[in-house]
Amino acid sequence: MTPEQMEARIVRYGDLRPCKTAFIDAHTPGSDQKENFTIIGGGVSEASDQHVHIQETPSFNIGAAGQPPKCRNSLHSHRTAEVFFVRSGRWRFFWGRWGKAGEVVLEEGDIINLPTGIFRAFENIGTDYGMIMAVLGGDDAGGGVIWAPQVIEDAKNYGLILGKNGKLYDSKKGKHLPEGVPPMPLLNDEELKAFPELPVSAMVPSHVGRYWDMMALATNAPCKVIGPDALLRDKPGFEIDLIQRGSIPEAAYSTKRHEILMVMRGHWKLQWANHEKVLAPGDTCAVPPGLAHAIFPSMTGEASLYRIRNTDDVAGPSWKPN
């Protein structure tokens, strides 16, 4: 692999291209300033003009959300895993039919594996623009977003209609539902019973990982963050490790899996054959299966990154260990 070919597999943080109309709440006050990024795979964007940086999907998708202070993403659910880690800022995650079942505040580096089948939302409660990075299970990211009924109803008042085909139509731009495409039906009361109100006592211990705890666990080996025997036990079709300085040898290694490197802190040197690239905070790199490579900090100071690999597990509902 040439340096040019590898560079094409690196999405630089500064090169991320946002979409401001990716979802149905794009015009709803309180959510109308958010930006969505599709880094690897098609994601779950409902907009036709969403830019995809790397089309290849390694059995999961990588995306991001950027929001100014007090901006929120509306209540929704997924059929496959939705994992976030905080790249920058301070974020409140909340969940339940009306968003009142519970909430937790995450700081930079913290991670949350949101269970499938619950309504969830998030809000930037920091003082500056913040970014959260996302991993979505499945090649098609679970077939799209399931919105709480009030989100779809509110959106109509601001000109956005979601078709049953999963596409958005903006009446402010003169777009309307095509002939033969009905609006997305609202979940009825019976269907809503399938979405549990998970208490905080069940969410936080099993689904939230704190950055500095994971950094301590990653002192001499990668901290297993998500996996069947990891800190957050699940089998979502991918596994996630946190790596810091000294977690892995600087010698080259290879794996049959797709390997996605997402830098949290510091600068990391990626070496293969006689070539090398430096990855900066916020950069995402898709290392292809079978490529012998080494990854290690390129300078002193705090250094950490999340490493995501596909597994043989099928993406689907959250795993419940016996």
Give buried/exposed letters for 280-293 (b at 16+ CB in 10 A, else e).
ebbbbbbbbeebeb
Supply angle C-alpha 189, 190, 196, rounded to 5.
85
Taking residues 285-310, report their average pLDDT. 97
CA dihedral of 3, 270, 281, 40, whole degrees rounded to 10:
60
pLDDT, tens digit, 9 for 90 and up, residues 236-281:
999 999 999 999 999 999 999 999 999 999 999 999 999 999 999 9
Q: Classify 210-310 by CATH class.
A: mainly beta
pLDDT at 57: 87
How far is CA 79 from its chain centroid? Answer: 14
Tokens coding 35:
């930006």
pLDDT at 48: 63
Tokens coding 210:
């704190």
pLDDT at 167 over 70: yes
Cα of first residue to Cα of last residue in the chain, in angstroms, is: 44
Q: What is the mean pLDDT of the chain?
A: 93
DSSP letter for 140, please: T
Spatial contact of 250 and 296, defined as CB atoms under 8 Å apart:
yes
Alpha-carbon span 267 to 315, nearest angstrom: 32
Total-model pTM: 0.93
Place of tokens 């790397």: 54
Q: Which amino acid is at 15?
A: D
How far is CA 82 from its chain centroid? Answer: 6
Burial class of residue 117 in the structure, from the number of CB atoms within 10 Å of its CB (0-12 exposed, 13-18 middle, 19+ buried) = middle
103 C-beta neighbours (distance < 10 Å), count: 17
Confidence of residue 63 (pLDDT cuts 50, 70, 90): very high
Alpha-carbon span 127 to 141, nearest angstrom: 31
pLDDT at 190 over 70: yes
Spatial contact of 93 and 131, defined as CB atoms under 8 Å apart:
no
pLDDT at 320: 83
pLDDT at 164: 87
Q: How do the domains of the chain map onto residue ranges?
A: 16-208, 210-310
pLDDT, tens digit, 9 for 90 and up, residues 240-251:
999 999 999 999
pLDDT, tens digit, 9 for 90 and up, residues 11-55:
999 999 998 877 888 888 888 899 999 999 876 666 666 788 999
**Nearest alpha carbon to residue 5 among 293, 260, 286, 309:** 286
**Nearest alpha carbon to residue 50 among 39, 38, 40:** 38
Tokens coding 118:
């619950």
Count of CA atoms in the C-beta half-sphere (13 A) of 107: 4
**Nearest alpha carbon to residue 58 among 286, 321, 297:** 286
pLDDT, tens digit, 9 for 90 and up, residues 104-155:
999 999 999 999 999 999 999 999 999 999 999 998 765 678 999 999 999 8
Alpha-carbon span 111 to 170, nearest angstrom: 34
pLDDT at 43: 66
pLDDT at 188: 94
Please check whether the two domains, 16-208 and 210-310, share a CATH topology. yes
CATH architecture of 16-208: Sandwich (2.60)
Taking residues 218-232, report their average pLDDT. 97
**Nearest alpha carbon to residue 152 among 243, 269, 26, 321:** 26
